[in-house]
Amino acid sequence: MKEYELTVLIHPDLESDIETPLTKVRDIIKNAGGEVIREDNWGKKKMAYKINREDFAVYVYMDVKLPADAPLKISNTLNITDEVLRYLLVTVDEKGRKALEDAKTRAASSAARGDDDTKEEE
C-alpha cells in the first residue's frame, strides 16, 4: 500500500456537525481498501475563490494508505458527494517529508543546546 495525502473541503454549513461528513469520507476510504493514518481538522477558512457559491469551507487533512486501485474509486465517489466541495489526493513526497523531519530535528537540537541566531553577541 502506498501513502497519500488527502485534503477535503467540506461544506461550511456542516461545521456544527462535522463528524457526519468526516465519517462518510472515512467510510469511502475504508470501502476502497484503505486506512486513515492521521487526521487533522484545520477548521473553517475563507477560500481563494467561490466554489458552489460558497466563500468558506471546513478544511480537513488526512494521511492515508491506499492500494493501487483505490485512488480512482475514492476520486469517483468524492466527485459526487454533496458534502465535499473540493478534494486533493496526492502521493506523499518521501524526500520532502524526510527533509522536513530533518529540519525539525536540527531546530529542536539547536534550541536544546541554546543556539539562537537572534542572540546578540556580547
Query: What's the pLDDT at 116?
Result: 55
CATH of the domain at 29: 3.30.70.60
118 found inside a domain: no
| Number of domains composing the chain | 1
Look over the chain and give the mean of its residue pLDDT values, rounded to a whole number: 89
| Domain with 19 in it | 2-113
Q: What is the dihedral of CA 80, 5, 19, 25, to 10 degrees?
A: 30
pLDDT tens for each residue of 14-42: 999 999 999 999 999 999 999 999 999 99
| pTM for the model | 0.78
For residue 10, name the pLDDT band (cuts at 50, 70, 90): very high
Q: Does 57 map to a domain?
A: yes
7-19 mean pLDDT: 93
Tell me the average pLDDT across 96-107. Answer: 85
Does residue 120 belong to any structural domain of this protein?
Answer: no
Q: Under 8 Å CB-to-CB from 105, ≥6 apart: which residues?
A: none
